[in-house]
Amino acid sequence: MVVEHETRQWILLCQCVCVCVCAEAASAPTSRIATFSNFESSGVTIGEAAKGAYVVWKERGWRLLVVMECSRGWALVLPSFLVLLFASFVGAADEAKRIPTTLEGPFKPYTKKFDTNLRTGSDDLPLYDPRIVKRVPAIYPEQIFLALSTPDAMWVSWVSGDWQMGPKVTPLDPTSVKSVVQYGTASEKYTMSASGISEVYSQLYPFDNVLNYTSGIIHHVRITGLKPNTKYYYKCGDPTLSAMSGEHSFTTLPATGPANYPKRIAIIGDLGLTYNSTSTVDHVAENNPDLILMVGDMSYANLYITNGTGSSSYGQAFGKDTPIHETYQPRWDMWQRLVEPLASRVPFMVIEGNHEVESQINGESFVAYKARFAVPQSESKSGTNMYYSFNAGGIHFVMIGSYADYNKSSEQYRWLQEDLANVDRTVTPWIIATTHAPWYNSYRAHYREVECFRQSMEDLLYKYGVDVMFHGHVHAYERINRVYDYKYDPCAPVYITVGDGGNGEKLELIHADDDGACPDPLTTPDKGFSYLSGYCGFNFTNGKFCWDKQPVWSAWRDSSFGHGIIEVVNSTHLLWTWHRNQDEYDEIVGDQIYIVRQPHVCSNQNNLLRRNKSVRFFRGSDSR
């Protein structure tokens, strides 16, 4: 079937040569003609053409005139009602398979019943699993990791040398091994070279009977001069020591522009190091994405004390001899080995989650996260790993920090306001944001935990027309209708939680609206940081703290491990697909919807309309 998304369409229907004319009922002065020599060359079947005719008849109300010109030299004119009669049978059968769009929202709340034959959790990978053990000599590169910089540059990161653990540790000299990437557009022919920086970090616990950690040497090199849609081959390491990696490759993203998009973008949250984690990674690899977003909570090193003993929850990760949470830092090395087959060939963009906090006695936190990952902080003028932005074709991504100060007087707020104000929607029509902690969540876990965060920043994201916002944190899947301040609004973002990557803390099965499950409002604020504490849950709206049924703003809930895929069709249509780990990957989708922008209706999604102060934003009715 050949279908144009604009007002003119044509329908193909013939076994050989088909000429179809389709004119709009009263107002279209022109028509469109398409000719194909046969169905093999056009990829069109009679059934597909009939489905197209059905869609045109059902959705557009057009009069059809179908002219069939066959190879024997005779022609036949079919009245439109005969075509539509046949088309209706085929089209009606296909109606159930039609993918909905956000234009049809708000959607009636739906909760997928949990299959009790499935386990709610997953076992840790054994430490001897070949996917997470070191496979190279000491100074050779491992844990190779790509990240986007600018449209013509890429960050390449890796680790060389061995970590150390013990009561006393001596950090490696980061200058003892050079940081070099050799790269080019032909295999084994590296015409360009770049050098970078190196560092080590330590996680220290100055207490008796507790082990300290110091990392291998972490390298970050920014390679430049890259062309869009081009495959590059590279090696990294220290050529003076003959300690270079094997050859790896990556393909750059399309150039920035409204008609250029990555083919597939994977979204993962709360991954961990379990058998379900490997299933998620395998499924993502099967989808062959061009870009991966990791919305926080990666290694879960803070669920383990320093001798490697695990616990079932963060609250139990205390050793008897330490007043702060311990961590088992080698799990970071294991986690980066697990994702290296993906991260060494696909840009892997991360944002911090609560399991990356990893506080130290000197008051430092996020030390491992900041040391291990290169992100475009200077490129996006944020100056920090905790929040930043970047472009990928016609999409502007904003990675917002749930655990950096978000008050309206904060550096993050001022940076975000400037960043969004400078987005040119004629160049990057889509704006996609991420935070680890969800603003809208109907599960009991983390229910209304970050109401202060939402209240502080939601107006800003609405003003600049953010289209979609992804979260992790809650270990389940949930898609939220377009809402602003708990009210349906067709110009507000779609919110999606994908904290179901496979971590060992088990799935979240209980909803805040289940009988007796509403959490105590006094326990909901996250007191981990002074700027996260507060009782915004009491004053954000009128009415009860919990709903007595699935909230109307919650469109789809499913307690399953999985991941999501974005496929941008054009400047107004994006296909979102969520896959469950337990399903046959190529045959079943867990949730699927077209997210549709309306820049001609929503002034906040259009630069020109937003600057016209006479145009007001659309505000919907209360979704309660």
Contact (CB, 8 A) for 522 and 469 = no
The three-state DSSP-derived secondary structure of 238-259 is EHHHCEECCCEEEECCCCCCCC
Indicate if the alpha-carbon torsion angle 335, 339, 341, 346 is positive or negative. negative
Say whether 446 is catalytic: yes
Tokens 């475009």 belong to which residue?
A: 376
What is the secondary structure of 371-439 as a DSSP string? Answer: HH----TTTTT--STTSEEEEETTEEEEE--TTS--STTSHHHHHHHHHHHT--TTT--EEEEE-SS-S
Choosing from 219, 248, 283, 446, which is the catalytic residue?
446
Contact (CB, 8 A) for 462 and 486 = no
- What lies within 8 Å, CB to CB, of 227 at 6+ separation is 152, 252
Beta bridge mates, 496: 470, 479
H/E stretch holding 157 reads strand 154-160
Can you tell me the distance from the alpha carbon of 570 to that of 362, in angstroms, rounded to the nearest whole number? 49
Can you tell me the distance from the alpha carbon of 139 to that of 165, in angstroms, rounded to the nearest whole number? 18
Residue ranges of E strands in 424-538: 430-434, 468-471, 477-480, 483-484, 487-488, 494-498
Contact (CB, 8 A) for 257 and 184 = no
Contact (CB, 8 A) for 299 and 186 = no
Q: What angle do CA 552, 553, 555 make, to 5 degrees?
A: 85
Beta bridge mates, 350: 294
Tokens 């944002």 belong to which residue?
A: 351
CB atoms within 10 A of CB 314: 15
Q: What angle do CA 190, 192, 195 make, to 5 degrees?
A: 115
Give the orientation angle of helix 451-463 with respect to helix 411-421, to 10 degrees: 20
Contact (CB, 8 A) for 292 and 265 = yes
Q: Which two tokens stand for residue 362?
A: 């000197």
Active-site positions read 446
